[in-house]
Structure 1
Amino acid sequence: MTGFHKPIPGWFRVIAVMLTIWGVVGVFACVQQFRLGAEAMGPADDYYRRLYATFPAWYNRIYAVATGSGLLAALALLFGSRLARPLFVVSLIAIVVQFGWLFLATDIIAVRGVAQVVPFPAFIAMVATFGVWLSDHAGRRGWIG
């Protein structure tokens, strides 16, 4: 190995910046949830207040792991580090644990409906999955290392 990276295409850098912005927004949302609880996304109704009150202590910690590792993964990608892939994997696992518990251990789907509660978490998981794929792709192309 020569130690040199191949030229990095512009689209890759744009996507890495977009993933970094996504990560910053995720960390901000997480901090808001820590600060405001059920009111983090605006005025909460009684159901969301009761639901949030039932969250186990680890729930917010896994949220922090999901968003924090996602932001670190995006930054690693942006700065050409192979740490991007394992960090995206950690983020994806935390996302699955977080929303898996929410959907399986609470009545949120029965109360609010699949169409209201599943699309955004599914999108979040798809972004993390894309991050895993992109970091693999970048590693194979020699854009990160």
Structure 2
Amino acid sequence: MLLLWGALGCWACFTQLTQGADAMAAASDYDRALFDRLPLWYRLDYAIATGTMLLGAVALLLRSRHAVALLTVSLVAVMIQFGWMFAMTDIIAVKGPYVLYFPLLILAFGALALHLAHLARRRGWIV
């Protein structure tokens, strides 16, 4: 499941970074303007967050100790990404609090994946 989640995240990142706001369903003028204003570091952080999630899932499948580090980087990158988005833009005021639901789901998956990696390390499933 984590492998699929990571692959979907990478696909979403790739399409959004290559197609811009048009990659999102029914992008509004606000969405387009917001995407155009995103700093380069934010886009890089998005790629890091999704890429390390996918690599962390692969590392778990391969029983690699690198899973913990990769999934930690992913979760931190996600927190930076959404922390900046919600603290430094007016997205909640414009779109309402429901825009928090999917980011919270993404954070939950990241935390769950990291918890699973720690559990696997403690139980000796990964070395």
TM-score (norm 1): 0.85
Indicate the residue corresponding to 2:25 in structure 1.
42
More helix, by proportion: 2
Which stretches in structure 2 are left out of the alignment for 5+ residues? Answer: none
Which of 45, 52, 55 in structure 2 is aligned with 1:62? 45
Q: Residues 60-100 of structure 1, C-alpha deviation per residue, up to 9 Å, x if partnerless?
A: 10000000000000000011001111100000000001011
Shift of 1:35: 1.2
CA distance in 2, matches of 1:125, 1:68: 15
Shift of 1:142: 1.1
What's the RMSD between the two structures over aligned residues? 0.7
CA distance in 2, matches of 1:81, 1:57: 31
Indicate the residue corresponding to 2:71 in structure 1.
88
Q: Residues 24-77 of structure 1, C-alpha deviation per residue, up to 9 Å, x if partnerless?
A: 000000000111101112231111011111111111100000000000000000
CA distance in 2, matches of 1:127, 1:44: 25
**1:144 and 2:126 matched:** yes
CA distance in 2, matches of 1:61, 1:51: 16
Percent identity over paired residues = 49
CA distance in 1, matches of 2:63, 2:52: 16
Where 1:118 maps in the other structure, the secondary structure is helix
Shift of 1:131: 1.0
Indicate the residue corresponding to 1:131 in structure 2.
113
Which residues in structure 2 correspond to 1:101-112 (within 5 Å)? 101-112=84-95
CA distance in 2, matches of 1:114, 1:86: 32
CA distance in 2, matches of 1:35, 1:23: 18
Q: Quick one: which amino acid aligns to residue 5 of structure 2?
A: W
Number of residue pairs aligned between Structure 1 and Structure 2 = 127
Q: More deviation in 21-30 or 51-60?
A: 51-60
CA distance in 1, matches of 2:42, 2:110: 19
Rg (Cα) greater in structure: 1
TM-score (norm 2): 0.97
Q: Which runs of 4+ in 1 moved over 3 A?
A: none
CA distance in 2, matches of 1:114, 1:98: 17
